[in-house]
């Protein structure tokens, strides 16, 4: 089943229009959606309809209205049909039921069929109409297709991304495992239904990604995408979850899939044995409601940082940093070791660049090493002097309890987005939380005050169309979203 996604500002403006009639009558609007329907291996087809704009049905087009109906002239619609065809958008008809009637009415059926008939006549029988009603502060939705206009297709859920993740209109009623009973006692039955309705991608399933993925499956996530192009190394075994000795030398994503499947939980899981910079992996990521970033590379993080704005997603990114020193006797000790969880939504939280998690300096270094692997063997002084590169050095220590604790905090962050339970002191930010494992305290870093940031300040790429290339990055390849012929 399909899913619908709104960013909070657009949904709020739409609600304001629908509920703003001076006499409490029904109001209606046209919502334009970008359809993200890239197929993911081993998962059911579930397109995401991402709302990008809405158009008020003008007062001079309304023939009559009341708290129980709205009639309008459709002469203004052909111009919108043309926009949908020209910009590769799908059309939605949205209205409210001020009377509190909780279902689509026969009048709604007539309005939908009239609009779909005109849309199909202009844009072809492949046209899709999304229909939504707002009743008592809750959304309900359904689909019709031009190829079978009388067939009503249910929507899996409608999500809104603001400072939190709101999910409404859930239609799936799969049985929930007994293992979620105590979770339901803590957060209520709707909480588990929301988790079951979500599709979550975990990018990088090593030290933080594998415990995050296994915990997400145990928490009741409905669909899980594991993305990693790397193989499991024997040195990883001190901090990963779900792997055994037979998995060493094999792809991490495919190996972890076999473990999660063996748990017998009600979760659909798939493995993409590719890096996030490869087309299949990025296309799979675009279908997710929530993304967990668990990579240790800047290039991968930069892609996810852009994707959350283009694709309208939640990004929960985690990482660790640390420094090993030696004591007077020559024994190593942890001078510093911290875990970070960054939680960013399209209109909430500082982006990873403003959080200084991603820097242009480190991006240049990684790209240079990717193009010329021999540079990775050079010391920092030579790199800077001869190649004008700064980066590399010793990686942060990988200590199992600390990577797992960071992953646990990341999953708890998703739970807090759905059913807020955290009472943060004023010196902590929801978008950036560090756990210091050596000194045992929690803190946040203030982001860079960059008023020109195109991501989180100017918001120039929020809901932006990709154009010719994925995420408008030629290195990620072209994506042809071609509609089928009639």
Buried b (16+ CB within 10 A) or exposed e, 377-402: ebeeeebeeeeebebbeeebbbbeeb
Kindly state the average pLDDT of the residues 177-204.
94
| Separation of alpha carbons 228 and 284, rounded Å | 12
In angstroms and rounded to an integer, the radius of gyration of the C-alpha atoms of the chain is: 24
> Mean pLDDT across the stretch 110-125?
94
**390 pLDDT tier (thresholds 50, 70, 90):** low
pLDDT at 483: 41
Q: What is the pLDDT of residue 467?
A: 87
Name the percent of the chain lying above pLDDT 90.
Answer: 82
Q: What is the mean pLDDT of residues 180-195?
A: 93
What average pLDDT score do residues 271-295 get?
97
Is the per-residue pLDDT at 84 higher than 70?
A: yes
pLDDT at 343: 98
Instruction: State mean pLDDT over 219-244.
Output: 95
* Residue 485 pLDDT > 80: no
Question: Of 80-94, 174-188, 404-418, where does mean pLDDT reach its minimum?
Answer: 174-188
Which domains, ranges and CATH numbers included, belong to the chain? 2-168 (3.40.140.10), 178-476 (3.40.50.720)
The answer to whether residue 484 scores a pLDDT higher than 50 is no
User: For the residues 44-60, what does the mean pLDDT come to?
Assistant: 94
pLDDT at 482: 42
Residue 322 pLDDT class (50, 70, 90 cuts): confident
Q: Is the pLDDT of residue 354 over 70?
A: yes
Residue ranges in 22-170 assigned as alpha helix (H)? 77-87, 106-123
pLDDT higher than 90, residue 281: yes
According to the model, what pLDDT value does residue 393 have?
Answer: 52
Q: Binning pLDDT at 50, 70 and 90, where does residue 366 land?
A: confident
Closest CA to 224 of 192, 196, 263, 250: 196
**What's the pLDDT at 351?**
98
Kindly state the average pLDDT of the residues 387-393.
Answer: 57
pLDDT surpassing 70 at residue 389: no
Q: What is the pTM of this model?
A: 0.94
pLDDT reported for residue 387 = 56
* Chain mean pLDDT for the chain: 92
Question: Residue 187 above 90 pLDDT?
Answer: yes
What single string gives the DSSP state of each residue in 232-283?
A: BPGGGGGT-SS--GGGBTSBHHHHHHHHHHHTT-S-EEEEE-S-TTSHHHHH
pLDDT of residue 125: 94
Residue 61 · residue 80 · CB < 8 Å: no
Query: DSSP string covering 184-220, please?
Result: HHHH-HHHHHHHHH-EEEEE--STTHHHHHHHHHHHT
Per-residue pLDDT, 362:
87
pLDDT reported for residue 150: 96
Of 369-373, 376-380, 421-425, 431-435, which range is least confident?
376-380
342: pLDDT strictly greater than 90? yes
Give the pLDDT of residue 105: 93
């Amino acid at each position: 089943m399909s899913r619908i996604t709104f960013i909070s500002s657009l949904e709020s403006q739409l609600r304001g229009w629908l509920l703003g009639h001076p006499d409490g009558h029904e109001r209606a609007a046209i919502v334009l959606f970008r359809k993200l329907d890239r197929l993911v291996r081993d998962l059911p087809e579930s397109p995401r309809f991402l709302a990008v704009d809405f158009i008020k049905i003008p007062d001079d087009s309304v023939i009559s209205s009341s708290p129980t109906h709205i009639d309008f002239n459709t002469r203004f619609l052909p111009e919108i049909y043309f926009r949908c065809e020209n910009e590769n958008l799908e059309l939605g008809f949205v209205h409210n039921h001020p009377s509190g009637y909780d279902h689509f009415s026969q009048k709604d059926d007539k309005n939908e069929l009239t609009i779909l008939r005109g849309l199909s006549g202009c844009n072809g029988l492949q046209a899709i109409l999304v229909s939504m009603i707002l009743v008592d502060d809750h959304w309900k939705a359904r689909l019709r297709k031009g190829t079978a206009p009388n067939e009503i297709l249910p929507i899996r859920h409608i999500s809104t991304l603001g400072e939190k993740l709101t999910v409404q209109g859930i239609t799936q009623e799969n049985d929930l495992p007994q293992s979620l009973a105590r979770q339901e006692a803590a957060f209520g039955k709707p909480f588990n239904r929301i988790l079951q309705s979500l599709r979550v991608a975990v990018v990088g399933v090593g030290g933080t990604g594998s415990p995050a993925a296994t915990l997400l499956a145990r928490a009741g996530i409905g669909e899980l995408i594991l993305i990693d192009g790397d193989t499991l190394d024997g040195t990883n075994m001190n901090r990963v979850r779900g792997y055994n000795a037979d998995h060493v030398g094999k792809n991490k994503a495919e190996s972890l899939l076999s473990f999660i499947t063996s748990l017998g939980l009600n979760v659909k899981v798939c493995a993409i044995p590719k890096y996030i910079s490869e087309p299949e992996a990025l296309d799979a990521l675009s279908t997710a409601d929530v993304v967990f970033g668990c990579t240790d590379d800047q290039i991968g993080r930069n892609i996810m940082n852009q994707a959350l704005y283009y694709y309208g997603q939640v990004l929960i990114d985690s990482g660790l940093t640390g420094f090993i020193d030696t004591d007077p006797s020559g024994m190593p000790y942890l001078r510093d070791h911290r875990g970070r969880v960054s939680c960013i939504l399209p209109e909430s939280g500082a982006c990873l660049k403003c959080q200084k998690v991603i820097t242009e300096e480190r991006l240049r270094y990684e790209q240079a090493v990717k193009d010329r692997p021999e540079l990775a063997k050079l010391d920092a002084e030579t790199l800077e002097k001869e190649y004008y590169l700064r980066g590399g050095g010793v990686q942060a220590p990988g200590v199992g309890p600390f990577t797992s604790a960071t992953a646990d905090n990341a999953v708890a962050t998703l739970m807090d987005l759905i059913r807020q339970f955290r009472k943060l002191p004023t010196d902590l930010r929801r978008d950036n939380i560090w756990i210091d494992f050596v000194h045992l305290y929690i803190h946040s870093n203030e982001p860079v005050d960059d008023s020109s940031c195109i991501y989180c300040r100017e918001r120039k790429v929020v809901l932006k169309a990709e154009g010719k290339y994925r995420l408008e990055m030629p290195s990620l390849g072209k994506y042809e979203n071609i509609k089928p012929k009639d």
